[in-house]
Every structure is written in structure tokens, then in C-alpha cells.
């Protein structure tokens, strides 16, 4: 009866405070966090009983062995084409970055498990120098020559603690 109340309360709160999620071409996983998730092609959420589970599903660490893990760098490359940006000319933007991955540890407690992780979820480095000549748009010559010099670097870090508490042998709750 107690478990039923917890589940029903969770479902009610989830319905009241729902968040609409949508996908598009610009919001995708750029790299997998940890060796095992990478080997499973990202299908890891239900199996998260080791340190990378701190990122994917913190409830899974309730069943994890105590320990730490770190993953190596991943090379992330992207290529974006902006069609007809300057008249009929396309603008191509490429990015290549050696991205650090994951560092985390799980520690067993008397009632559950705690962990701490540092995860780099996205990284981008763009250094672009491009020259345009004779921009003609709608039969009007706008300029003879133009230069674009663009340098941009961005890394997204997720850093923080996690805690998981088992309710039964097959159900646990976790927060990160």
C-alpha cells in the first residue's frame, strides 16, 4: 500500500508539472558518456548500475558496486551548411574538437548509494576564415569582396552529486 501511494503521488506530480519534449536535428547526443554506454550505442539507461549511470539514470546506482570510472576523450566533428545565406552562396561551417568525457564515482551507504560526477556533454570549437567575392543578390552587386573571421569555443559541463535509494530488489529512486 505504501509503494502504491508513492507511485501514484509521483504520477500525479508528473502530470501536473509535465514538460513537453521535442526533438529536432540540432539536439542530439554528440558523444556517449562512458565505455559501456558507447558499446551499447547509447541504449544504456536501464542498465545504469555503474558510475556512468550517474549521468544516464541515477536510480540505477542503488545497485552498483562501489568504485570510480573515467572515460577517455572522444573526437567530435560536425558540419553544417547554411543554404543561400549571402545571395545564392551557401555558407559551410565545420567543427572538430577533442572532447573530454566522464569522471565519476559511486559510494555505498547504509541505505542506498551516493556519487559525484563531472560530465562534458557537448563541446564545439570553430575557427573559420572565409572570403567572399562579388556578392550579387537580385541583380544588385552588394560588394566586391568580404571576409568572415569567426572563432568560437564552447563546452557544456554537468557537475554534481547523485543519490539513489532502493525501494525493493527491482525498484529504486535517484536524483542528480
pLDDT digits over 3-56, tens only?
Answer: 788 877 877 777 676 666 555 555 556 567 777 777 777 777 777 788 888 888
Per-residue pLDDT of 59-91, as tens digits, reads 888 888 888 887 766 677 777 787 877 666 777
Question: For residue 28, what pLDDT is reported?
Answer: 56
Question: For residue 116, what pLDDT is reported?
Answer: 92
Compute how many other C-beta atoms are within 10 angstroms of the C-beta atom of residue 90. 10
Question: For residue 18, what pLDDT is reported?
Answer: 63
User: 114 pLDDT band (50/70/90 cuts)?
Assistant: very high
Question: For residue 164, what pLDDT is reported?
Answer: 92
Question: For residue 162, what pLDDT is reported?
Answer: 92
Residues 6+ apart with CB under 8 A from 135: 86, 87, 89, 141, 142, 143, 146
Q: How far, CA to CA in Å, does 95 sit from each of 75, 90, 124, 134, 155?
A: 10, 17, 6, 26, 13
Per-residue pLDDT of 147-163, as tens digits, reads 777 777 877 888 999 99
Question: For residue 63, what pLDDT is reported?
Answer: 87
- β-bridge pairing 74-86 and 89-99: antiparallel
Average pLDDT, stretch 136-140? 68
Question: For residue 30, what pLDDT is reported?
Answer: 59
Amino acid at each position: 500500500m505504501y509503494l502504491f501511494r508513492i507511485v501514484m503521488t509521483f504520477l500525479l506530480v508528473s502530470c501536473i508539472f509535465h514538460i513537453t519534449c521535442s526533438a529536432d536535428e540540432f539536439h542530439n547526443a554528440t558523444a556517449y558518456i562512458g565505455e559501456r554506454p558507447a558499446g551499447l550505442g547509447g541504449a544504456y539507461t536501464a542498465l545504469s548500475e555503474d558510475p556512468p549511470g550517474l549521468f544516464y539514470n541515477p536510480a540505477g546506482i542503488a545497485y552498483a558496486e562501489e568504485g570510480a570510472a573515467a572515460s577517455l576523450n572522444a573526437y567530435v566533428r560536425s558540419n553544417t551548411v547554411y543554404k543561400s545565406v549571402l545571395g545564392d552562396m551557401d555558407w559551410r561551417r565545420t567543427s572538430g574538437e577533442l572532447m573530454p568525457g566522464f569522471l565519476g564515482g559511486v559510494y555505498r551507504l547504509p541505505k542506498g548509494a551516493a556519487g559525484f560526477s563531472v560530465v562534458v556533454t557537448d563541446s564545439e570549437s570553430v575557427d573559420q576564415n572565409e572570403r567572399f567575392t562579388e556578392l550579387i543578390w537580385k541583380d544588385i552587386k552588394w560588394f566586391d569582396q568580404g571576409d568572415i573571421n569567426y572563432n568560437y569555443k564552447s563546452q557544456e559541463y554537468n557537475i554534481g552529486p547523485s543519490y539513489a535509494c532502493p525501494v525493493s530488489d527491482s525498484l529504486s529512486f535517484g536524483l542528480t
